[in-house]
Amino acid sequence: MQSYGDETRSLAALSLPSRIVIGVAACVIAVAVAIHLAMMFLHVAPSNTLSKQQGALISDYVYPEYEQNWKLFAPNPLQQNSAVQVRAHLRSEEGAARTTGWTDLTARDGQDIRHNPMPSHTQQNQLRRGWELFVNTHNAQNRPVGLRGELSERYIRRIVLARIAGEWTSSGDRIERIQVRSQTTAVRPPPWSTEKINDKPVFRVLPWWQVTTADLPEGATHQ
């Protein structure tokens, strides 16, 4: 077994450039850890002068990778599963129109995540967070509330089309409109619980959205 003295001698035996590189690397790591801890502390700490002055910088650093979500530990944890689904109105090269069936994008994300030890942030959160933003910036009639509401509509359209437009246009069809809906289902209580719930799905269906060139990924077409 190598002793502490042996380790000290081995470090001392390194050349001066090697010791400088190790020292600089250790300093860089220490500074990076200190910055990360400071950012996370300012993010979760009560509002103060520094966090108010540097709010934009802190948010840019924290979101989306380091966001702190405490819903799991809330007095009433989330008890519903929500899925985002989409369909499209297409037109063929001959002018024939058709409407696709509903495609469950949330289910696709779930398939990509299942058995994946390191799923990407996009697979885990992009669609879910985009839909949460839409719901929080729209009223019960699905009308946008302020500029964030309008931006969230564009964001959802681009997420949807980036994921599935290629499938719809692979045969030469043009995408004219898309429609998005959510399907919300209550999580069943554990077997030992006497709680009774309604497990019938509840749908929130949005109006048809006209597709523009700006919404489409490169290579897809619309009328």
- For residue range 141-178, what is the model confidence (pLDDT) as tens digits? 999 988 888 899 999 999 999 999 888 888 889 999 99
Residue type, 165: A
Chain position carrying tokens 């359209």:
157
pLDDT at 175: 92
CA 76 to the chain's CA centroid? 23
pLDDT at 3: 54
* pTM given for the model: 0.64
Chain position carrying tokens 């692979």:
170
Query: pLDDT (tens digit, 0 to 9) for every residue of the chain, 223 residues total?
Result: 555 555 555 666 778 888 888 889 999 999 999 999 998 888 878 888 888 888 888 888 887 667 666 655 555 566 788 999 999 999 988 889 999 999 999 999 999 888 888 888 788 889 998 999 999 999 989 999 888 888 999 999 999 999 998 888 888 899 999 999 999 998 888 888 787 888 889 999 999 999 988 887 765 555 4
What's the rounded Cα separation, in Å, for the pair 117 and 111? 13
pLDDT at 88: 95
From 168, 174, 164, 169, select the one nearest 211 (Cα to Cα).
174
